[in-house]
Amino acid sequence: MFAQELVLRQRAEILHALCSSGSAEGLERVLDMLLAQEVLVWEDYQNIQVAGRALCTNARRLLDLVYTKGVDACGLLLAALNQVLPEAQRAGLSFGGCCSNLEETEELHGTATQTLLTERPGLVGKLRDCIDGALEALVESGSFTSTECDEVQLPVYTLSQQARHLLDHVRSKGESAAKVLLQYIQQKEEGGSPLNQEKWTPPQECLKYQKKLSSSVSAQCCFLSTYGGTGNMSLDDIYTEGQLELAHDCADVHGPLGLEDIVGTVGTLNEEADTVLVSGEAGCGKSTLLQRLHLLWARGAALHDFLLLFPFSCRRLNSEHRELSVQELLFQHCCWPDREQDQLFQFILDHPHLILFTFDGLDELKQSFSDEHRHCCPTQRAPVPILLFNLLQGSLMKGVRKVVTSRPEAVGPALKKHLRKEVLLKGFSPGGIDCFVRKHHSDPTVATRVLESLQTNTALLGLCHTPVLCWIVSQCHKELLGCGEGSPQTITDVYLMILQHFFQHQNPQKNTLGIGWMQGHLNTALHLGQLAFEGIGTSCYIFSGKDLQACGVTEEDICMGFLIQSKDISSTSCKRYEFLHVTMQCFFAALYIVLTNDMERSTIPKLFQLQDMRQTGLRSTCFSLCLPSTVLQGVSEGEAMAAETPNLQITATFVSGLLSQRHQSLLLQCCSSPTLNSKARQVGRCLSKGMQRHFKSIPKPVEGEKKSMHAMPGFVWLIKCIYEMQESRIAKDAMTKLEVEHLKLTYCNIGPVECTTLAYVLQHLKSPIGLQLDYNSVGDVGVEQLLPCMHICNSLYLRNNNISDEGIRKLIAKGIQCESFQKIALFNNKLTDACTQHFSHLLKTKQNFLALRLGNNNITSEGAKQLAEGLKSNQSLKYLGLWGNKIGDAGAEALAGALEGSKTLVWLSLVDNGVGSAGACALANIIKNNTTLTELWLTKNCITRTGVECLIEALEHNTDVKSVWLRSNELSVEEEEEMTQRESRLIF
Ligand code: ADP
């Protein structure tokens, strides 16, 4: 008898044999074999094996499908059954001679993904015993997230089922994941554990060098320079985790990264590239982070994959004027090998994957990155910037991993295209601030008092997200705790506080002289100011004794503590100095501009014009123009000043702050009132002009769309300068000229500090706008900072901003009082059910509220019930989005009950919420009873035929609904086709 006939005739028996035990294992093994034999293709498999559907339905679907595929397919099915079914169940069946061993198939492998199918039965067996290890390998390679691992290892699955889910997931990830898995299994088979594979040890000479290098690195990294003066604080004692994130969206990566993820595979954009960029604003902790990585490597506590780590500082590379080969660069700038340099270098060339280079502060390199000059030979000499650029783009020392830090402004598209990935360092989280302050103060009561005082001054708390400011605030805790009302609000206030602190700390008796503290130290301020100013103009951050002398810097000035001795591995015998931090140098440069009487009048306007020059692609030479030509010697013509713009921006911010009315009495001790006033007027004019230039760039709106402005680079900086001035007149003046309906500041690096400044300025807008702050780091502290401008926001877009329920509580409390506030979007934050009571209150209270979008948060049925309470008494909401939460049937039922009577709802999305047919039937009541709804989104749920029948029936009574989206629910292709025929508004 033909195999096909055997399958047909024995249908009931086969079904019984496959399903009577209640276990799906038999059917699943048969499916594995048929996939391997290519009787079934992947789509067939997905149609048969539908999760949550009865085992017998799946088995029937298999028999139907195989039957239609003909005699050969049926033969192979019988052979598979013969092999899989236990003796007792096989006994009553006839196999008609189809008994070949299906696991012994010929190996005809193509891609790794294909191999997963053709070897599926064997792979399931192998994986059963090493699911954990395989998942670990996949996570490590960046192919899997921990959520996906949890999905694979759901406790309801048997080990074989876990193995199959693993295979299915890997398949959906594509070729590279499949390769990782196959490689893992192969290694496991060959060597027991993949880790046992590497029995190889590096040559002795190399190990000796590693020891020398790590002890030198370790010695360099134990202490933070900002704690140099206070002695006994080691990096271990004070290091606090900063917030690290990928700069680009990566579907598999959610939440913060760890230190080792910087060099790991997570979030890799370009497999071919070697260079990882860590970017962040000045003072956000980039150097400290590298220092930590170096120290951990040197101790063998991290980066185990790298045998040798070579740390470089771009600031120090600036002073290398010789041409060098890579070999000379490594050995002369990092660590000199005692013997056999050439062999050692050869080893490095031969084992690039064991080597890591780090370059701190690319923004401080005098030359900006360019990939025009190719240099590929590691033994040939070239100017150091050329070596560096070729290393970063991978034309030199390909395969060696490189980590480079920079401020974001200094990284242009030329470098970006050579990046493996970009990681953003976003300073301390609120918890990080707490942790840092507690580490800084050995006395816990002092730490608590500092933290309490920060809580009462949220503008200052916002500033403390930047570690360098957190450090200053902690250093100046006595001043901070003593100043009550006048506690610092702006960055300038904070730097003035540390200025006073250092002056008085070093020279307490000067207080008693009866003159103000600034006046008492005017000479020091001017000397250091001139040094800083000239350094900023020439991208010089390390100063020789001669430089100090030229600016009149004395031993006494040095003792104040703003300058520290430069740590230079390749140090020459003479002492060299740098400012405690580059922002400190900018602050002194600003002090100099403000305090000195013989500053050219054009300096301030030029300082504020730099954004223009950047936009036109020209290099700003404003400082060069203000500097005497002697200072410029040594900066060769055409040497671009990459670091200039960010440092000039910071300097300009400080100039604005220092010239604010609030500091007049302090500065009047040192210079005349007309001079100060004239400089302050100049700054006011520059800011106003700068703003107008931005407003002029706003394009005419497309018909039907709102007049919208997307912030150009420099906009946020201007806003910050206005904030530093703390004069509402200037803020008002700037904002009255802004005529837009929508202000877009997505991906603008807006943190709490920027929120403070934005709110300060935007509150003066004439009419309400939509404020779009998606993809920033606003957080709960930032939300609180935004409150003063809530009344001018009709819509607030805060997608992807790390906001939690606490932030929402404050936001809503204020929003309820704001008449114009009508829409909010909070997609992808950290919201849970706890926030829904606030939204419920908002909906009850505000009868003009239009749109609530809470997608991709953690709202369950309980939260939906709370929302429903609010919705019941709301008569205004048009858009409700809950995409990607977990409201389930119970939540859908609660919402449906509340929305049935809505006379305003137009759009409802419950995509991906675990809603089943019960929920769908409840939602059908909205369709039945409501006349405003036009779109209902139910994609990616678990609705079956029953639920869709309810929806169809409801649609019969409704002509207003335009579409009901039902893709990826639990219906077969045939069912979907049939239902579309019956109701064309259903979209599958
Ligand atoms: P960047 O290189 O981004 O300009 P730095 O790493 O130089 O910033 O940080 C400036 C100062 O801030 C450090 O000297 C230190 O006092 C403090 N700091 C930065 N990051 C950390 C951290 N992770 N833990 C403790 N303190 C930090």
Task: Specify the pLDDT at position 601.
Answer: 86
> 10 Å Cβ neighbour count for 713?
14
C-beta of 426 in contact with ligand 1 (< 6 A): no
In total, the chain counts a number of residues equal to 988
C-beta of 288 in contact with ligand 1 (< 6 A): yes
C-beta of 284 in contact with ligand 1 (< 6 A): yes
Task: Specify the pLDDT at position 513.
Answer: 54
C-beta of 433 in contact with ligand 1 (< 6 A): no
C-beta of 239 in contact with ligand 1 (< 6 A): yes
Ligand 1 center to 240 CA (angstroms): 9
Kindly state the tokens that stand for 932: 């405003």
Q: What's the mean pLDDT when you consider all of the chain?
A: 87
Cα separation of 60 and 426, whole Å? 56
Task: Specify the pLDDT at position 219.
Answer: 85
pLDDT in tens, 696-744: 877 776 777 777 888 777 899 999 999 999 999 999 988 888 888 999 9
The secondary structure element, H or E, covering residue 543 is: strand 543-544
Kindly state the tokens that stand for 387: 């070596």
- Split at pLDDT 50, 70, 90, the class of 613 is very low
Q: Which atom of ligand 1 is nearest to the CA of 240?
A: 24
pTM of the model: 0.73
Provide CB contacts within 8 A for 669, sequence distance 6+: 515, 516, 518, 519, 522
C-beta of 541 in contact with ligand 1 (< 6 A): no
**Whether the Cβ atoms of residue 62 and residue 46 lie closer than 8 Å to each other:** no
Q: Nearest 5°: phi and psi at 460?
A: -70, -40
pLDDT in tens, 819-864: 999 999 999 999 999 999 999 999 999 999 999 999 999 999 999 9
pLDDT in tens, 551-583: 999 999 998 889 988 876 555 567 889 998 999
DSSP character at residue 226: G
C-beta of 226 in contact with ligand 1 (< 6 A): yes
C-beta of 488 in contact with ligand 1 (< 6 A): no
**Whether the Cβ atoms of residue 307 and residue 434 lie closer than 8 Å to each other:** no
Provide CB contacts within 8 A for 403, sequence distance 6+: 262, 263, 275, 276, 278, 290, 293, 356, 357, 358, 359
Kindly state the tokens that stand for 481: 């705790």
Cα separation of 176 and 142, whole Å? 10
Which has the closest alpha carbon to 497: 507, 484, 506, 487? Answer: 487
Ligand 1 center to 482 CA (angstroms): 26
The residue contributing the CA closest to ligand 1 atom 23 is 240
Q: Which of 97-101, 113-117, 479-483 has the highest mean pLDDT?
A: 113-117
Which has the closest alpha carbon to 535: 636, 631, 638? Answer: 631
CA distances from 424 to 282, 776, 830 (A): 12, 11, 20
Cα separation of 836 and 867, whole Å? 6
Cα separation of 952 and 529, whole Å? 76
Q: Which atom of ligand 1 is nearest to the CA of 224?
A: 14
CA 304 to chain centre: 25
Residue corresponding to tokens 């293709």: 41
The residue contributing the CA closest to ligand 1 atom 19 is 285
Cα separation of 520 and 515, whole Å? 6
**Ligand 1 mutation target, pool 259, 288, 313, 581, most atoms within 8 A of CB:** 288
Cα separation of 407 and 316, whole Å? 17
C-beta of 173 in contact with ligand 1 (< 6 A): no
Q: Which atom of ligand 1 is nearest to the CA of 471?
A: 16
Burial class of 272 by CB neighbour count within 10 A (0 to 12, 13 to 18, 19+): exposed
The residue contributing the CA closest to ligand 1 atom 27 is 467
Cα separation of 189 and 621, whole Å? 64
Ligand 1 center to 291 CA (angstroms): 10
Provide CB contacts within 8 A for 137, sequence distance 6+: 180, 181, 183, 184, 194
The residue contributing the CA closest to ligand 1 atom 12 is 468
Residue with the larger pLDDT of the pair 107 and 480 = 480
Ligand 1 center to 288 CA (angstroms): 5
Provide long-range contacts, Cβ within 8 A and 24+ apart, for 596-601: 596/526, 596/529, 596/530, 597/671, 597/672, 597/675, 599/626, 600/626, 601/682
Ligand 1 center to 407 CA (angstroms): 14
Q: Give the gyration radius of the chain's Cα atoms.
A: 34
Which has the closest alpha carbon to 899: 863, 877, 871? Answer: 871
Mean pLDDT of the 363-374 span? 86
pLDDT at 512 over 50: no
Cα separation of 795 and 424, whole Å? 28
Share of the chain above pLDDT 90, in %: 48
C-beta of 390 in contact with ligand 1 (< 6 A): no
C-beta of 286 in contact with ligand 1 (< 6 A): yes
Mean pLDDT of the 511-537 span? 85
Which has the closest alpha carbon to 294: 353, 362, 364, 224? Answer: 224
Task: Specify the pLDDT at position 24.
Answer: 82
pLDDT in tens, 919-978: 999 999 999 999 999 999 999 999 999 999 999 999 998 999 999 999 999 999 999 999
pLDDT at 632 over 50: no
Residue corresponding to tokens 């096989």: 90
Task: Specify the pLDDT at position 824.
Answer: 98
C-beta of 586 in contact with ligand 1 (< 6 A): no
Ligand 1 center to 261 CA (angstroms): 19
pLDDT in tens, 219-237: 888 888 887 655 567 888 8
Task: Specify the pLDDT at position 199.
Answer: 57
Q: Which atom of ligand 1 is nearest to the CA of 227?
A: 16
C-beta of 240 in contact with ligand 1 (< 6 A): yes
C-beta of 280 in contact with ligand 1 (< 6 A): yes
Which has the closest alpha carbon to 483: 509, 457, 522, 463? Answer: 457
The residue contributing the CA closest to ligand 1 atom 21 is 285
C-beta of 36 in contact with ligand 1 (< 6 A): no
pLDDT in tens, 279-332: 999 999 999 999 999 999 998 888 988 999 999 999 999 888 899 999 999 998
Ligand 1 center to 587 CA (angstroms): 17
C-beta of 283 in contact with ligand 1 (< 6 A): yes
**Ligand 1 mutation target, pool 224, 225, 294, 466, most atoms within 8 A of CB:** 224
Task: Specify the pLDDT at position 634.
Answer: 44
CA distances from 678 to 594, 597, 675 (A): 11, 12, 5
**Ligand 1 mutation target, pool 259, 406, 468, most atoms within 8 A of CB:** 468
Cα separation of 809 and 814, whole Å? 9
**Whether the Cβ atoms of residue 164 and residue 124 lie closer than 8 Å to each other:** yes
C-beta of 242 in contact with ligand 1 (< 6 A): yes
C-beta of 468 in contact with ligand 1 (< 6 A): yes
Cα separation of 867 and 892, whole Å? 11
**Ligand 1 mutation target, pool 471, 475, 495, 586, most atoms within 8 A of CB:** 471
Cα separation of 181 and 172, whole Å? 13
C-beta of 581 in contact with ligand 1 (< 6 A): yes
Helix, strand, coil distribution of the chain in percent, nearest 5: 55, 10, 35
The beta strands (E) that lie in 142-246 are given as 244-246
Cα separation of 961 and 498, whole Å? 64
Share of the chain above pLDDT 70, in %: 91
> 10 Å Cβ neighbour count for 962?
11
Beta bridge partners of 459: none
C-beta of 428 in contact with ligand 1 (< 6 A): no
Element counts in the chain: helices (H) and strands (E): 50, 22
> What one-letter code names the amino acid at 400?
V
Ligand 1 center to 472 CA (angstroms): 11
Q: Nearest 5°: phi and psi at 214?
A: -70, -30
Q: Which residues of 148-159 are buried (b: 16+ CB within 10 A; e: fewer)?
A: bbeebeeeebee
**Whether the Cβ atoms of residue 804 and residue 829 lie closer than 8 Å to each other:** yes
Cα separation of 884 and 937, whole Å? 12
Side-chain half-sphere exposure of 256, counting CA atoms within 13 A: 14
Ligand 1 center to 283 CA (angstroms): 6
Ligand 1 center to 900 CA (angstroms): 55
C-beta of 798 in contact with ligand 1 (< 6 A): no
The residue contributing the CA closest to ligand 1 atom 5 is 285
pLDDT at 774 over 90: yes
Kindly state the tokens that stand for 224: 């933070």
Sign of the CA dihedral with 174 first, then 179, 182, and 184 last? negative
**Whether the Cβ atoms of residue 369 and residue 415 lie closer than 8 Å to each other:** yes
pLDDT in tens, 412-468: 888 999 999 999 999 999 899 999 999 999 889 889 989 988 888 888 888 899 999
Ligand 1 center to 242 CA (angstroms): 9
3-state SS of 306-352 is CCEEEEEEHHHHCCCCCEECHHHHHHHHCCCCCCCHHHHHHHHHHCH
Burial class of 114 by CB neighbour count within 10 A (0 to 12, 13 to 18, 19+): middle
Ligand 1 center to 800 CA (angstroms): 26
C-beta of 432 in contact with ligand 1 (< 6 A): no
